[in-house]
Amino acid sequence: MKLTDQNLAEQLHMTQREIARRKELIGLDKADSALMLSAKPLIAREISSIVEEFYANQVSKPEIERLIGDIGTLGRLKRHMTGYLLAMFDGVYDDDYVLSRLRVGLVHDRIGVPPKLYVSSMRTLLDILRQRLTEKIEMDKQCDACQSIQSALEKVMLFDLTLVFDTYIHALLGQVQRSKVELEQYAQSLEEEVARRTSELLEMARHDPLTGLANQRALFDELRREIGRAIRQAQPLSVAYMDMDHFKRVNDTLGHQEGDRVLVALADAMRKVLRTEDLPARIGGDEFCVILPGVGMDKTREVIARLTAAFDALKSGREVTLSVGLASLDLETPQMSEELIRQADQAMYLAKNIPGHAVVEAGTDRN
């Protein structure tokens, strides 16, 4: 059930049984109720002067004066205090009375009155009421009743004080719960942010920042997985290792920015030509590698032909060409990932002896 569907007494589990038990603990009984009611005419006659004396005392304290703030608020408080006192001397301390006192505590908490100031104000009010009761009852020669009425008054005000403090505690627990929820939400958002940043860092650690392709670490991780899959499924696997020819000349004559454009052009050509299951990677400098799962050597040559054509279109006629070494997995005696890359790398160095775009298969003289 939502809090807005319950009144304050229900939220605090203030049942009739609980109210009766509180009265019992304080000793507030029917005789006390009768004594309070008997004193009501006296209090009613003095109510205006009692309220004025009480608030004259209150505004003399800087902390309370700041909380009251202005004359309009002071006037409203005086009217509420008048009703509070008259209800206190009605001698009826039932569910409605309890709810009204709980609301008093809630209002004081919401406007920022700390418990120490509330207790101080209650003590001041008790002293004023005692003095008035003593003066008037003695004047009426009812001294025997004076002490009994004052005892009943103390019990009622203690009863009220316990109710008000319950609302302070309830509000404090609510703040703690809200803080807990906010802290949990913050912790969750922080965990999500850390996870996101960690994922970004891991992604950055596996990718080349210039081209966006996988880096050498990611290449070897993926190649080991693909070799295992190819062996299990008895499927071909090819690797193409490539190096740019005349790349240093472009860097030296046209500048590193132009060299970077050439590197990015090759990466873009790879993204344009290769399948999603293929993995292109920049090994470092002007060396690149491509893993081609499920692809035999003849098909690999076709892919490299399309790649070089796409690269020529994107690099805008510059003199840079590609030397490509190819290696394929031997399913009968499978190579380790490092060996497969080494074979493709050696074939690439053979290709560099051939002018223009050149492709050489490892272990063969094919080009």
Q: Give φ, ψ of 347 to 5 degrees.
A: -65, -35
CA 362/CA 290 separation, integer angstroms = 15
User: Nearest to residue 93, comparing CAs of 39, 29, 181, 172?
Assistant: 29
Q: What is the pLDDT of residues 24-35, one digit of tens each?
A: 998 999 999 999
Q: What residues of the chain score a pLDDT lower than 50?
A: 1-6
59 closest CA partner among 131, 124, 127, 154: 124
Domain ranges for the chain, please list them. Answer: 3-184, 216-361
**Element holding 283 (H helix, E strand):** strand 279-284
288 phi-psi bin (left φ>0, alpha ψ -120 to 50, beta other): beta
Residue 140 contacts by C-beta under 8 Å, 6 or more apart in sequence?
none
By the 8 A CB rule, do 58 and 121 touch?
yes
Quick one: which H or E segment has residue 242?
Answer: strand 237-245
Alpha carbon of residue 367 to chain centroid: 60
Q: H or E segment at 328?
A: strand 321-328
- CATH C-level class of 3-184: mainly alpha
Q: What is the pLDDT of residue 2?
A: 44
Instruction: Provide the CATH topology of domain 216-361.
Output: Alpha-Beta Plaits (3.30.70)
Q: What pLDDT, on a 0 to 100 scale, did the predictor assign at position 96?
A: 85
Q: What is the pLDDT of residue 27?
A: 92
CB 231 within 8 A of CB 333: no
Give dist(CA 265, CA 129) in Å, integer.
Answer: 93
Global pTM reads 0.51
Dist. CA 318–CA 294, nearest whole Å: 33
**Residue whose entry in the numeric block shows the structure tokens 């409203």:** 76
